[in-house]
Amino acid sequence: MKVVELAAPGFAGIRFADRPSALLGGHEVRIAMRAAALNYRDLAIAKGNYPVRRPVIPCSDGVGIVVETSTKATRVAVGDRVCPLFFPRWLAGAFDPAEFTRDLGGAIDGVLAQEVVMSEQSVVKVPPHLTDAQAAALPCAALTAWSALTSHVSIRPGQKVLIEGTGGVSLFALQFALLMGAEVLVTSSSAAKLAKARAMGAHHVLNYKDVPAWGVAAKEMLGGGADVIVDVGGAATFSEAIQALAPNGSISLVGVLSGAEAKLPVPMFMTRAMHAHGIAVGSREGFLAMNRAIALHKVVPVIDRVFPFADTPAAYAYAAAEHFGKVVIEIGK
């Protein structure tokens, strides 16, 4: 079978290779992959900013069709369209950091391959209304957004949610927060992207290029601050996010786009009874709950552009530049 491998750091290290098909062990299933979606993490891994075993097959996010099951498998059947889990063994409950010894497309081979073999426990069926390109983005991008809004906070209709940026996680967070009945503010440095966010339903938008101290501005726009903030930025954004947070509010930390070390103003954090939560993608139980929401509301993930498998390097390059929505690679086409 044909796979993509990261042979060396840098996009130049992306290459195609042939690997033998794996045999199925007990409870394992073979998936003919249909599409994979790129995340910021995939770009960082390809650039060599994360330590990975090389050559690794990249990408955590993808969808495919079950084409073979071992005799013991009962959860899925041939013909099912499924996504592999980002953390194959995190089914439910508290997170075990040992999962980072088996995260897809990082510690172990990922989904940018014609075939993937997984335990039947490590896949979930996807909502039927989604195209392959749309379904491909669920395992990390969508689930991280879902977890940020559900795993340690309970959002009630009428509560206020601030979402930083318009990347993959952020757009899913916008869609999910609206389903929850929240009042949503989105930040970006691009007026065009903010216009799109507003068209998707955001109640408020804020261009942080125009308002560098956007925390106080966001608090005012939200009439007292956000009850929940999805922080994708880390170092630079956290300080502003704290300013935008309402008393008793929570920041869900899901990314480090602007740097790894954030400053926490302890007196403000204490006297306003604030909360911060580290979000590590999510469990299978969360994935299944999310899929029920996506299916009921026919949520359509935002896709920017779809590339054929052969153009994988171009997809990486495109994803590294400006875009709005997921960059997807179709496999087997």
CA distance 295 to 308: 27
Among residues 270, 298, 321, 322, the one that binds a second copy under rule CB under 8 A: 270
312 φ/ψ angles, rounded to the nearest 5 degrees: -50, -45
156 binds a second copy (CB under 8 A): yes
Residue 56 gets which letter from DSSP? Answer: B
* Of residues 150 and 187, the one with the C-beta less far from a second copy: 150
Contacts of 321 (CB under 8 A, 6+ apart): none
23 binds a second copy (CB under 8 A): no
275 binds a second copy (CB under 8 A): yes
21 binds a second copy (CB under 8 A): no
Q: CB–CB of 23/321 below 8 Å?
A: no
152 binds a second copy (CB under 8 A): yes
Strand 160-164, strand 204-207: pairing? unpaired
Q: How far is the CB of 200 from a second copy (least distance, A)?
A: 16
CA distance 55 to 53: 6
27 binds a second copy (CB under 8 A): yes
Among residues 15, 277, 305, 323, the one that binds a second copy under rule CB under 8 A: 277
Report in angstroms the alpha-carbon separations of 292 from 19, 34, 118. 36, 22, 23
126 binds a second copy (CB under 8 A): no
Which of 244, 246, 249, 242 minimizes the C-alpha distance to 263? 242
Among residues 86, 87, 172, 176, the one that binds a second copy under rule CB under 8 A: 176
Q: Amino acid identity, residue 114?
A: Q
Candidate ranges 77-85, 134-142, 163-171, 175-183; the one touching a second copy (CB under 8 A) = 175-183
93 binds a second copy (CB under 8 A): yes
Q: CB–CB of 222/183 below 8 Å?
A: yes
Q: How far is the CB of 68 from a second copy (least distance, A)?
A: 16
Contacts of 98 (CB under 8 A, 6+ apart): none
Among residues 263, 300, 310, 333, the one that binds a second copy under rule CB under 8 A: 263
Q: How far is the CB of 192 from a second copy (least distance, A)?
A: 27
314 φ/ψ angles, rounded to the nearest 5 degrees: -65, -35
212 binds a second copy (CB under 8 A): no
- The footprint of a second copy (CB under 8 A) covers 25-27, 72, 91-97, 100, 150, 152, 154, 156-159, 176, 179-181, 183, 234-235, 238, 247-248, 253-256, 259-267, 269-280, 283, 285, 289-297
